[in-house]
Structure 1
């Protein structure tokens, strides 16, 4: 068996301020840089991503894997036309050169929006299908936040989607997709498929599978449908910050016959619709989170999500609302980060450990924001090169550029040069800051941080300082969303 293997990942927040150009995909962060051909295997080795899980399954099955290309960039606004066409062109060129192959596996996200296409993955799959023809099996893995489209379903033969948020099952999902592809090759048969869409958007924070309703939907409802003997079923919560026609939750089901696939998809989407009103929770204002966060009886930290500046959802990573609240309250037992601020990181390295300088932290990228001007003492410095240690990013090769930990009137502020959400404690430990030593830890993340931080926390709160990763998509103006879709869950 010769199986072509590749991927192209981007989660697009169309309300964010910064687009993803070609250089954004050339940079490594926690995930590998843009790679083409045989270099792919070294780059994904030991990294917890779907393509690594798929490769393990193919290797164990004795398949010959033909590497195409793989690329990802930190979530942001639209992928530029130049970046999309160049990266898609690389993948398709490698695919043409690889022919003949028996099947194709692609590691995609499912929420890529380009300057010239609303559905980046659907267009990519259409072009792949054009190259390989109608009969070749194509399997793909997608993120739980995929905005699955009819075109993605049409041009692939099987879609498998993460079941955990935080995404601690990325490699596992790639492995499932790979096993399904091998089954198609072994039997010579493709499954029937069914696709359904919900009629409301799920806010990012409340799709977390640590609590209901998502916990039950993925842990009980989905498994009950799987037990009926179908080939596969997946539920995507969707990415609600994309103003596109097919934004929103969806279900894809596969079975030996169309009737069984339709029944499975109908049953799962009914469970999703029935849970609509439960996708809600408490959102704190910055001053609330800081003021109410004390607890003298428990020495574990309160962990607060600076959810609207999550670089994992398209935030710039430099908004200042939560830092201003900390400084105003004089919280000298707090840690906040990680700010994407290469200028401040450079200045900290210039003055060195123990040095003091007039810092201008953050506030440079989000419209209406301004830097926080504060005297900063450099506590520690780092080169930004370290290994991830938590459940989601364990084994990841972080390359965050110059980093620094600053003391700003008693508030400890972590800054870095390359953008990445604060989802792994190693990002702070690289600078000598142990999160469990603080009373209050504020992380620029929405949900993924929970995998590594919730076990050490006395409680986890969600706060909403100004930023583009909007906690309430109902507050946004959508122009492309299909008719009848509610932009927030209805009671």
Structure 2
């Protein structure tokens, strides 16, 4: 078989301050930069993302792959019209050429929560354009992120879609392989499988969605058991609760003769709202609890700065948690054993690198001691507009000791995105009053300990670690802590990503969907 493959990955927070323009898809910060043609297979075949799993499965089955485009950008606000049309245009141009030579199916590596300036349901729009080119007879299958806001158009136009089953997403390549299985089922049947779906009437907070915790852990166990018992393929997308369009809500769907029964049973188990309370704390309380517990534990305490999560549309540059750590003297209590990352501040990182070049003295005992003896005055971080209409906390003004410089190149070794290389530009570790801050020039969610190690911070040696993340950090950081129920604390500091979607100024959401959990 000849399979046309392409990818389009963006998680859109329509309330966030920064657009995803064409440059964002070429930056290569936490996703590989824009790929087209044979480079797609070379880049992705051995890494833990869906297209990598699909490529491995396809090659194992002897399928011939016709690679087109893979485009991914760090989560942010809307995908610009220009970027969306360039991506779609390249995919459709390649597809027309492939159809002329003959193809048997299309595989798409999609996120499912991308909103473009000119298309609220941009994945549905892309799938529809592809369908118009290939016709009804050619199967279209796709993989989706667990945070996809799945639309009726996406389900009706595609032959089959399947989503991740873990958050943090450690099963991305597995999902690509599952998409290949769905394609085999579709081809063997000779027509679309029976489809059934049910949508939630409310949004699930991001911080309640981790499959490392209940109720999500239990529900995905039920999903997998139902697949085996009923010969169905179910998906449960808990949704991304910050995309202002009509169909932003969780969805359960499935394929197979028993799909209606299986979907209805899982929906009955998943839909009671009380089980989804996320337990987010005000930042001052979160820091105070972390300091208290760190004094009693020989393992780190982790604080998640969820409202500045660059994996959810934040820019990873706010300073609310850093200000609170300084106010409560965390670095003085545990000198050099409190770390925060990743703080996106390319201007400060550049100043540090320039300062280092000017001040470095040849002949000192060692380059490392020279770095540690240099101090620079900075305004670190950024005050950004938040969903409340006011700015976040101001930059931290002070004298920072330079600990280590880095080129920002880091290959992930943790369970999520294993093998992906991030290119974050000029980076450094700075120290202020015993608090170590990992500063970068590219946006990256702190989901892998190698990001800290890149600037000389060993997470294993810390007492408190602040991660700009909501849940993805759990795969690599939770094993460090003594008790995940106590020692992973979610803090609510001012930022652009609302921990409670009910705080956001919705305009387009269907009146049948509640952004907050029902009381």
Deviation at residue 144 of structure 1 after TM alignment: 0.4
Q: Which residue number corresponds to residue 270 of structure 2?
A: 272
Tell me, what secondary structure is at the counterpart of 1:311?
Answer: coil
Deviation at residue 122 of structure 1 after TM alignment: 0.4
Q: Which residue number corresponds to residue 311 of structure 1?
A: 310
Q: Which residue number corresponds to residue 483 of structure 1?
A: 511
Deviation at residue 185 of structure 1 after TM alignment: 2.5
Deviation at residue 360 of structure 1 after TM alignment: 1.2
Tell me, what secondary structure is at the counterpart of 2:270?
Answer: helix
Q: Which residue number corresponds to residue 396 of structure 2?
A: 372
> 1:30, 1:393 within 8 Å by CA — same for their partners in 2?
no
> 1:319, 1:366 within 8 Å by CA — same for their partners in 2?
no
Deviation at residue 386 of structure 1 after TM alignment: 2.0
Q: Which residue number corresponds to residue 330 of structure 1?
A: 329
Give distance in 2, aligned partners of 1:216 and 1:187: 32
Q: Which residue number corresponds to residue 351 of structure 1?
A: 355
> 2:45, 2:55 within 8 Å by CA — same for their partners in 1?
no
Alignment root-mean-square deviation, CA: 1.3
Q: Which residue number corresponds to residue 112 of structure 1?
A: 114
* Residue 290, structure 1, aligned to residue 287, structure 2: yes
Deviations 1:57-114 (Å, cap 9, x if unpaired)? 0000000000010010000000000100011111111111111200000000000011
Give distance in 2, aligned partners of 1:365 and 1:297: 35
TM-score by length of 2: 0.91
Q: Which residue number corresponds to residue 364 of structure 2?
A: none
Aligned length: 486
Give the gaps of 5 or more residues in structure 2.
357-370
Deviations 1:418-462 (Å, cap 9, x if unpaired)? 101111000000111011211111010000000000000131010
Deviations 1:344-379 (Å, cap 9, x if unpaired)? 111111122232111111115445133211111110
TM-score by length of 1: 0.97
Give distance in 1, aligned partners of 2:516 and 2:77: 21
> 1:405, 1:414 within 8 Å by CA — same for their partners in 2?
yes
Segment of structure 1 superposing worse, 343-352 or 186-195: 186-195
* Residue 6, structure 1, aligned to residue 6, structure 2: yes
> 2:236, 2:251 within 8 Å by CA — same for their partners in 1?
yes
Q: Which residue number corresponds to residue 171 of structure 1?
A: 173
Q: Which residue number corresponds to residue 70 of structure 1?
A: 70
* Residue 423, structure 1, aligned to residue 480, structure 2: no
Deviation at residue 184 of structure 1 after TM alignment: 2.2
> 2:384, 2:495 within 8 Å by CA — same for their partners in 1?
no
Q: Which residue number corresponds to residue 220 of structure 2?
A: 218
Tell me, what secondary structure is at the counterpart of 1:74?
Answer: coil
Give the gaps of 5 or more residues in structure 1.
none
Q: Which residue number corresponds to residue 396 of structure 1?
A: 420
Consecutive aligned runs of 4 or more in structure 1 exceeding 4 Å deviation? none
Q: Which residue number corresponds to residue 234 of structure 1?
A: 235
Tell me, what secondary structure is at the counterpart of 1:227?
Answer: helix
Q: Which residue number corresponds to residue 381 of structure 2?
A: 362
* Residue 412, structure 1, aligned to residue 436, structure 2: yes
Segment of structure 1 superposing worse, 343-352 or 447-456: 343-352
TM alignment of 1:199-214, pairs within 5 A: 199-214=201-216
* Residue 261, structure 1, aligned to residue 256, structure 2: no
